[in-house]
Structure 1
Amino acid sequence: MKFVAVSSCPTGIAHTYMAAEALEQAGRAAGHEVVVETQGSIGTDEIPLSVIQDADGVIFAADLEVKGKERFAGKPTISVGVKRAVHEPAKVIDEAVAAVASGVATPAASAPVPTSSGPADSGLSRVRKQLMTGVSYMIPFVAAGGILIAISFMLAQVAWGGAEGAIEVTAADQVAVFSDFDLGSLQHWSIVLLATGQLAFGFLVPVLSGYIAFAIADRPGLVPGFVGGAASVLVGAGFLGGLLTGFAAGFLALWISRWKVHKGVRGIMPVVVIPLLSSLGIGILMLVLIGRPIAALMGGLTSWLEGLSGGSIVLLGVLLGAMMGSDLGGPINKVAYTFAVTGLATQGLASDAAQYKIMAAVMAAGMVAPLGMALASTVRKKLFTPIERENGKASWLLGASFISEGAIPFAAADPWRVIVSSIAGSAVTGGLVMAFGSTLVAPHGGVWVLPLIGNPFLFLLAVAAGTCVTAGAIIVLKSMRATSAVKEEAAAAVAAA
């Protein structure tokens, strides 16, 4: 058979392309042809329409709403999460073959439509996809803004003799620098980089809200989503407010778009009526009704984080570390990461604030799983297959670069042993980073942003400790399995004799 597929994950980096490769290989192994369209962070490599028309069936391996879904209308279709395509590609292919045999096709429509009546498209699954769509569009703003702010802090240490110098510059001083910029002044460079990074960070909540609404209602959701996100920032409701306005704006715009209106009005609905009414509704909701209570809740959370010390902050590091190691780039991992990066968006913090410690703990813990698998497959090669040993070589670089997905090939082959080992090592690292007081003002980068890390030696020590714990745990667990298998073979041989 011939299949076309679409793969996409929240970040559009690792899972998107791993799923594509897994489906193509599983298809070839089963005697089928699979052509995959990757909707990743660098854009979409679209499948030609002629290939879609010739296909027998469609596979959506996506944690986001698929772009251009209407192109596949009328074809037997299955919809699965991207991680399932990575871990169980052969089963996904079998399900696609069964869907073709049953003739279950998707309806033709230009708006988002359900692609399956199975559990993959349950209410919770669709909410998760909509949330991850917003997060996936937000992450590039996080990376750009966060790294620019981090570099400005580093320059400020030299220019002012302290990490907080650039933050203490007044708005009037910033305007003076912009109008009379000195190329040779580190102070001026620090101020410009800080302002640019803060501008990028200023889009975090509107982009999150806007693209959650987009995932629900398509383009009619963008305007009220962005307006709701901006209103959340205005009243101080922040990230939590953006989440709520994203869903509210999306469902409100979707509801209005389904109104039965006169033919003469239908043409102005998407450009006037829907954005006008939905933006008005979301503005009133956030500015008048729920904005202030949410802002008070966010203020309380910030005060709680700033007040953490001693065992409390270490325990938080252990918890966040365990979350980072639990599903290797999946939703639990993303919750911990999003919690950390949204803390970076808080302006006016001291360089040793709890938010920066949280970011350091999350990034360090996210590096552990691939590094642990790389170490284990190097020191005990006999416990791993030749393919896993090759993956281990690549995992050194992936782990050092804070790409947790580098451990996925190991987890796919031996899920519970790898996950247990990963959680143990990542939890140790998260707790140690908090105990050591390491800080980080950049949202990504691994060892490549080491100059931006507070207490970098202790940060690396925490990563090394967690890596050793993960490697030791997986070696012990795999050795126990090997010993058990030898005993079973010996018992079978005795019984046969």
Structure 2
Amino acid sequence: MTSPADPPNDAGASGPGLKLLAVTACPTGIAHTYMAAEKLAQAAESLGHSMKVETQGSIGAENVLSDNDVSQADGVIIAADKDVDRSRFIGKRVLVVAVADGIHRPERLIEQVRNAPVYQGDGHEAERGAAPAASGGGKGRSVTYKALMNGVSYMIPFVVVGGLLIAVSLALGGDTTSKGIVIPDDSFWKTVNDIGSIGFELMIPALSGYIAYAIADRPALVPGMVGGWIAAHGELYDSEAGAGFIGAIVTGFLAGYLVLWIKRVKVPKFVQPIMPIIVIPIVATSALGLFFIYVLGEPISWVFERLTDWLGGLTGTSAALLGIILGLMIAFDMGGPVNKTAFLFGAGLVSKNPEVMGACAAAIPVPPLGQGLATLLRRRMFDDQERETGLAALFMGFFGITEGAIPFAAARPARVIPANMLGGAVAGAIAGVASVEDNVPHGGPIVAVLGAVGGVPMFFVAVVVGTAVTALVTIALMSVGGVGRGADADAGAGGVAEAAVAGEAASSAPSPAGAPVLAGV
């Protein structure tokens, strides 16, 4: 690529126009990607410049920039809230901003790109500081936010496909037994369930892998995915419950920044060609995997063994208190170690004390039902893909698949997780006080429909009230920080999106036998 010629000072409507390029992309790749492209193209035309815009939407890249386009360009604007490959823009002035800036400040961006830093590649990225309009203000915060959103956007299809296939197979082929809702091994629906289980098993590695990919590009994908797989499989570090989606976020960022660090190591020239495809993936994957198994894994296992013992000491005390605690745990990480600890505790007492499982069963569907209800009550707060995911979450919640809420929690943890926990606590408390019984190790309205619940009216009261609390608290917390997904990748991602997108930006793994653990599942 050639270095850009400095454009004349009077370039614009009254002088020679610039040849500009732009790339727009948002995490879901639906509305905001194309809105930003339209606004930038209109602003360039009104200022007397030519502009070609590549959109990286949900159906893939469109209007792709050619090598000839890049070689002739005076500047490039990347308005995106997900990872965009910049290697083709080496030697060009590159301005990197949030997708919302492309929608709301296109004229200002066109002025700023004239003085943007030249992108050098090899980690020397165009300075985000050149664009004060970009949210978060700092490069580090922007990278964190975009990495998290990149992981979430790739995870959503796995959650939806896996969850819906499991739910359909349970509805049409499941039988209620003392072991829960079981699908006969020789049935067609067992095959459908197995396919759905594979989707669920892959969603945690996908989240981790694409967080790492957004930080350090392709060399980080393998360590990120392997790290996510390890986080999801507690048996690798002697834990009954894996680390869930929270563990996947941790491994994703660890893998990404570890690879960035390895990239900075000076190596002989003859080694450089094999660094990204052999050396970096092997070193990073081995280091991260061993660190998680031998350093993080043992403390995780110890903590949750002690937590199980503590829960055992609470039986026989206040039913409301135990219901609140179990509801909080079930809703906290939606299939992660805290959720699984509460579920396994309740499942272990099904034959002796079914009231404990009753509290768990009422809390299990609250996160997906609550988040799905929130997308129906305040549709404008959510983008198109989130609304679609919300409908899928409602369906999964009915069948006791708590992971249906994970995409919402991963995108804005500081708002969604507290709302989920409050709703779960309310549901658990009501079920506990009413002595609701669940005679199978499963949760959600489906267990009541199939006759496994004692005290059905109060069970549904608990679920409905908990769901309403989660939905209303979610809406209230989102309203406090600004409407829309982009207003919150929040504190859970390092507080990185206070204004990033102004209106957008936005498991448990199956059991070793392949059957999904659908309780907190």
Q: Shorter-chain TM-score: what band?
A: 0.5 to 0.7
Corresponding residue of 2:351: none
Q: Which residue, 359, 375, 383 being the options, matches 2:368?
A: 359
Q: Mapping of 1:9-24 within 5 angstroms?
A: 9-24=26-41
**In structure 2, do the counterparts of structure 1 residues 32 and 131 end up closer, same or farther at CA, with 3 Å as the change threshold?**
same
Structure 1 counterpart of 2:181, one-letter code: G
Q: Which residue, 101, 106, 128 being the options, matches 1:92?
A: 106
Corresponding residue of 1:180: none
**Secondary structure at the counterpart of residue 267 of structure 1:** helix
Count how many residue pairs are aligned between Structure 1 and Structure 2: 375
Deviation at 1:263, TM superposition (A): 2.3
CA contact (8 A) 2:33 2:57 kept: yes
Deviation at 1:111, TM superposition (A): 5.4
Moved more, 72-81 or 286-295: 72-81
Moved more, 279-288 or 4-13: 4-13
**Secondary structure at the counterpart of residue 44 of structure 1:** strand
**In structure 2, do the counterparts of structure 1 residues 302 and 4 end up closer, same or farther at CA, with 3 Å as the change threshold?**
farther
Deviation at 1:12, TM superposition (A): 2.6
Corresponding residue of 1:165: 181
Corresponding residue of 1:266: 272
**In structure 2, do the counterparts of structure 1 residues 256 and 297 end up closer, same or farther at CA, with 3 Å as the change threshold?**
same
Q: Mapping of 1:56-455 within 5 angstroms?
A: 56-66=74-84, 68-86=85-103, 89=104, 91-100=105-114, 102=115, 104-109=116-121, 113-118=125-130, 120-156=137-173, 164-166=180-182, 174=185, 177=186, 188-232=187-231, 233=233, 234-235=236-237, 236-294=242-300, 352=361, 354-370=363-379, 402=390, 439=444
- In 1, the alpha carbon distance for the partners of 2:163 and 2:205 equals 16
CA contact (8 A) 1:439 1:455 kept: no
Corresponding residue of 2:489: none
CA contact (8 A) 1:37 1:47 kept: yes
- In 1, the alpha carbon distance for the partners of 2:33 and 2:204 equals 24
State the superposition RMSD in angstroms. 4.9
- In 1, the alpha carbon distance for the partners of 2:284 and 2:20 equals 39
Corresponding residue of 1:44: 61
**In structure 2, do the counterparts of structure 1 residues 35 and 96 end up closer, same or farther at CA, with 3 Å as the change threshold?**
same
- In 2, the alpha carbon distance for the partners of 1:226 and 1:293 equals 22
CA contact (8 A) 1:79 1:116 kept: yes
- In 1, the alpha carbon distance for the partners of 2:267 and 2:129 equals 30
Pick the structure with more helix per residue: 1
Residues 267-312 of structure 1 deviation map (CA, whole Å, 9 limit, x = unaligned): 322232212211221121100001233456678999999x999799
- In 2, the alpha carbon distance for the partners of 1:70 and 1:198 equals 37
Structure 1 counterpart of 2:288, one-letter code: I
Aligned-pair identity in percent equals: 36
**In structure 2, do the counterparts of structure 1 residues 34 and 353 end up closer, same or farther at CA, with 3 Å as the change threshold?**
farther
CA contact (8 A) 2:24 2:37 kept: yes
CA contact (8 A) 1:213 1:247 kept: yes
**In structure 2, do the counterparts of structure 1 residues 431 and 128 end up closer, same or farther at CA, with 3 Å as the change threshold?**
same
CA contact (8 A) 2:204 2:229 kept: yes
CA contact (8 A) 1:210 1:225 kept: yes
In the alignment, structure 2 segments of 5+ residues that lack a partner are 1-17, 131-135, 348-356, 392-414, 432-442, 447-458, 480-521
Residues 71-118 of structure 1 deviation map (CA, whole Å, 9 limit, x = unaligned): 2333333222223434xx2x2331321331x3x233232658344224
CA contact (8 A) 1:317 1:361 kept: no
Deviation at 1:198, TM superposition (A): 1.2
Structure 2 counterpart of 1:226, one-letter code: M
- In 2, the alpha carbon distance for the partners of 1:22 and 1:200 equals 37
Residues 122-150 of structure 1 deviation map (CA, whole Å, 9 limit, x = unaligned): 21221111122122211111111111111
**Secondary structure at the counterpart of residue 200 of structure 1:** helix
- In 2, the alpha carbon distance for the partners of 1:45 and 1:301 equals 51
CA contact (8 A) 2:95 2:112 kept: no
Deviation at 1:203, TM superposition (A): 1.1
Residues 338-379 of structure 1 deviation map (CA, whole Å, 9 limit, x = unaligned): 965879997988893523211100111122222799xxxxxx
- In 2, the alpha carbon distance for the partners of 1:254 and 1:140 equals 28
Structure possessing the higher relative contact order (Cα contacts under 8 Å, 6 or more residues apart): 2
**Secondary structure at the counterpart of residue 268 of structure 1:** helix
Structure 2 counterpart of 1:355, one-letter code: I
Deviation at 1:48, TM superposition (A): 2.7
**Secondary structure at the counterpart of residue 107 of structure 1:** coil
**In structure 2, do the counterparts of structure 1 residues 302 and 8 end up closer, same or farther at CA, with 3 Å as the change threshold?**
farther
Moved more, 255-264 or 348-357: 348-357
Residues 385-436 of structure 1 deviation map (CA, whole Å, 9 limit, x = unaligned): xxxxxxxxx99x9968849xxxxxxxxxxxxxxxxxxx9xxx89x9699769
Residues 40-77 of structure 1 deviation map (CA, whole Å, 9 limit, x = unaligned): 232222523233444433222211121x3122333333
- In 2, the alpha carbon distance for the partners of 1:223 and 1:153 equals 33
